[in-house]
Amino acid sequence: MSEEIKLRKIDDYRWEIPKGTFPGMRVPGMIFADEKLLSKIKTDQSLKQVANVAHLPGIVKYSLAMPDIHWGYGFPIGGVAATDPDESGVISPGGIGFDVNCGIRLVRTNLTEQDIRPKLRELVRQLFNHIPCGVGQSGAIRVGKEDGRKLLVQGARWAVQHGHGAPEDLAHTEAGGVLEDADPDAVSKRAYERGSDQLGTLGSGNHFVEVQAVDTIFDEEAARIFGLEKGQITVMIHSGSRGFGYQICDDFLELTRRALSKYHIEVPDVQLACAPVNSPEGRQYLGAMRCAANYAWNNRQCLMSLAREVFEKFFGRSWQDLGMDLVYDVAHNIAKFEKYRVNGKEKMLCIHRKGATRAFGPGHPELPKDYQSVGQPVIIPGDMGRNSYVLVGTAQAAEETFGTTCHGAGRAMSRSQAVREARGRSIERELEAKGIIAIARGRKGLDEEQPAAYKDVNDVVEVVHQAGLAKKVVRMQPLGVIKG
Residue 267 lies in a domain: yes
| Cα–Cα distance measured from residue 127 to residue 480, given in angstroms and rounded to the nearest whole number | 10
pLDDT reported for residue 139: 72
- Looking at this protein, which amino acid is placed at residue 428? E
| Cα–Cα distance measured from residue 53 to residue 49, given in angstroms and rounded to the nearest whole number | 6
Residue 294 lies in a domain: yes
- What b/e string do you get for 332-362 counting C-beta neighbours within 10 Å, with b at 16 or more? bbbbbebebeeeeeebebbbbbbbbbbbbbb
| Interstrand relation of 437-440 and 29-32 (parallel, antiparallel or unpaired) | unpaired
Residue 3 lies in a domain: no
Residue 2 lies in a domain: no
> CB neighbours of 118 closer than 8 A, spacing ≥ 6?
none
| Cα–Cα distance measured from residue 442 to residue 484, given in angstroms and rounded to the nearest whole number | 7
| Cα–Cα distance measured from residue 291 to residue 181, given in angstroms and rounded to the nearest whole number | 9
CATH of residue 171's domain is 3.90.1860.10
DSSP code per residue over 171-193: HTBGGGG--TT--GGGS-HHHHH
User: Structural domain tally of the chain?
Assistant: 1
Residue 129 lies in a domain: yes
Angle at 458 between CA 457 and CA 462, to 5 degrees: 115
| Interstrand relation of 437-440 and 470-483 (parallel, antiparallel or unpaired) | parallel
Contact status, residue 408 vs residue 68, Cβ threshold 8 Å: yes
DSSP state of 367: S
In tens digits, the chain (484 residues) has pLDDT values of 456 899 999 999 999 999 999 999 999 999 999 999 999 999 999 999 999 999 999 999 999 999 999 999 999 999 999 999 999 999 999 999 999 999 999 999 999 999 999 999 999 999 999 999 877 667 767 777 778 899 999 999 999 999 999 999 999 999 999 999 999 999 999 999 999 888 999 998 899 999 999 999 999 999 999 999 999 999 999 999 999 999 999 999 999 999 999 999 999 999 999 999 999 999 999 999 999 999 999 999 999 999 999 999 999 999 999 999 999 999 999 999 999 999 899 999 999 999 999 999 999 999 999 999 999 999 999 999 999 999 999 999 999 999 999 999 999 999 999 999 999 999 999 999 999 999 998 888 899 999 999 999 999 999 999 999 999 999 999 999 999 7
> Range of 358's domain?
8-483
Active site members: 407
211 pairs with which residues across the strands? 235, 480
Residue 293 lies in a domain: yes
For the sheet containing 59-70, what is the strand order? 8-11, 14-17, 29-32, 59-70, 77-83, 345-354, 334-342
Residue 226 lies in a domain: yes
Residue 1 lies in a domain: no
| Cα–Cα distance measured from residue 130 to residue 354, given in angstroms and rounded to the nearest whole number | 30
Secondary structure element (H or E) that encloses residue 60, with its range: strand 59-70
